Amino acid sequence: MNAITHNTVPTYQRISVKPLAVHIGAEISGVDLSRPLASEEIAEIRAALLQWKVIFFRDQHLSHAQHVAFGKQFGDLTLGHPVFGYEPGHPEVYSVGRDRFKSRFDGARLVRPWTGWHTDVTAAINPPAASILRGVVIPPYGGDTQWTNLVAAYHGLSPALRAFVDTLQGEHKFTPPEGNKARQEFVSKVAATPLISHHPLVRVHPETGEKALYVSPSFLKNIVGLHPRESEQLLALLFEHVVRPEYTVRFKWEEGSLAFWDNRSTAHLAPVDIYDTEFERQLYRITLVGDVPVGPDGKPSVSIEGEPVAAHSVE
């Protein structure tokens, strides 16, 4: 199974679902993720994910093995990260530590309203279907993560602009943030596993049929077929639009918190306020294998360089 399978349930009988914002985000309770789930629980969690785009759990103190086992109930898992590796002994787990970027970049990045927002690994031809992030060491305050609903953002555009972006594709790849200079570790790893893809600017969700404004500010570099100035201006408009506060939810982490988001209909923002403190922050992420995006015209994404992100197999 390479993506989350949608099983429609009329009501939630096995879990409790508490919405956190109008367009995105709900907190799930009444379930223990450390044990194998009943099929009814899996179906309801899937349905809540598709409805709310990102769902959150509290007081789930999982080991790496339990984290992986939970994720496998929803689909095949990738390696921790196709470019930047994984936790030793746990190939499906990627470390999201406070200082993970120190060895990759130098210099001061150019900060815009959308700086840092991204959808995971969109440089790949088949970006992950979903991501599951687990909080282990959490600062006493600060360090919140934000998500935005790309379906709501698409419908927030004018009909004329929606009709135009429906026809476009964008180029996604790994590059340093604007203003930063890549250090040798980043250069070497990207060169060893190059990933460049052309994805539709509007992605049709393979399960719900919803259209999402599939723009990932950290990875989407230009719009295919437009002149550079046209591309720059349109991307600035779209990037600014998708991070409007009304489309977003902000999550305050606790130890044992877990966030599970649909990577096909959301973008998210990692915190930078923690760099103004000495607080430690350590989370771990796993990702579910995704499919190739398809636009409203039925045309799939095109791989320019690199291989699809495959399911991790135990050798």
Type of residue numbered 210: E
Type of residue numbered 310: A
Of the candidates 217, 219, 237, 226, the one whose C-alpha atom is nearest the C-alpha of residue 304 is 219
Of the candidates 2, 66, 89, 74, the one whose C-alpha atom is nearest the C-alpha of residue 43 is 74
Tokens linked to 269: 């923002």
Which position among 241, 264, 268, 281 bears the catalytic label? 268
Paired sense of beta strands 54-57 and 26-29, if any: parallel
Paired sense of beta strands 211-213 and 202-204, if any: antiparallel
Burial of residue 124 (number of CB atoms within 10 Å: 0-12, 13-18, 19+): buried
For 290, phi and psi rounded to 5 degrees?
Answer: -110, 175
**Active site (annotated) includes residue 285:** yes
No. of H helices and E strands in the chain? 6, 18
Which position among 120, 203, 262, 264 bears the catalytic label? 120
Which position among 23, 46, 67, 118 bears the catalytic label? 118
Which position among 46, 205, 285, 312 bears the catalytic label? 285
**Active site (annotated) includes residue 120:** yes
**Active site (annotated) includes residue 172:** no
Residue positions annotated with a catalytic role: 118, 120, 268, 285
